[in-house]
Structure 1
């Protein structure tokens, strides 16, 4: 798949710092070690490393353009685009590049501290018993129909997630059950995904190394339901002490 860079930048408030905004892009990379010729390299400022430090490496690997959020030096001849948040922009760019695959699927998001993996397998089995071709995205593995795809995160980063959803569309999958982690919500991994529905299993004090407080952890999980479209469905475990927060988000 090849698109012009300008097509990928729609709606993200980007400005071209140098180069050709109509250069052709054949892939998206957020890890300089995985850059291929013709890719757009998106510089993500992470907790342990900063993609802006690897612009020259990405250029040597054949990147056609880079997306930045901070001023850095960059090689002459490289197309450079700047935006306020590369994390947020990456979700939009990935969705456009892979032609909005979630809109061609019945995508179910399952969120909760425990029970996500079991629930996704149960839902996939229900889909298949009803005669649909099912897919699964989760902690243990991803499944595209009958094909297993290795999993690196509970919820993949947005380019990997959109690529996986596009693979499911190509394979004829119609219904997908996906584990949605609180990290994925907070880090915009699921932005631009169209969910047919969502399930909340439970919430306990966990992952506070990332969210710092239980309230922040709860807000991240509730945020998923706030992002659902008005015509989506929601299944809430009302036995959870936090159920009221999720029910309120669904109003």
Structure 2
């Protein structure tokens, strides 16, 4: 008797789908293979996996999507691939984990991903992603973001920095104002916490979205945040608290 067919893990399924032939624009390279341990998607599987276990951690269906800009440079990717995971001591992970812990969000309940697929060629990691200048590639990445939302169906999306909200906005009429300006001050003016967000391509799904500073620049940027009567880090704590409250209410 043949063995029952092994069910493909959702993270492995998504990684295989993004690895299909794509015309990467100048300055963008494909990811050769996923990093085994903890790493943002598509550099890795986007799961909290600090023990580098042979068994893939459970996929956080209905959990939290942490949505960044892009994964890393090709040099940074190679370092993490050799190490087996991204370093938790780098500013992005160190500051992000502190924010999640303060909000009592378990990393194992998160899918850590990015709006742009691929790697930056070379060593540079800051500034606008090279693929953002290619309309066809941008459209592909938005379609694949919808696919990630379809698979995970997150109850909460936490965007990081100023670029991912702009990429997410065209996917929902409920986020139109997010796409009408750029920067954290604009997001604070139009409302950085959005409950009951419907994704146009997924009519049976809705979620809660909150926009936070990018953790790699947290200490330089968070002081500028405003949310009602609150400012700085306290403003972001209130944003995330309210977003979680909306998400939990929607699931009761």
Could you say whether these structures have the same fold, taking a TM-score greater than 0.5 normalized by the shorter chain as the test?
A: no
Q: TM-score, normalised by structure 1?
A: 0.27
Q: TM-score, normalised by structure 2?
A: 0.27
Question: Relative contact order, CA 8 A, sep 6+: which one is greater?
Answer: 2
Highest Rg: 1 or 2?
Answer: 1
More helix by share: 2
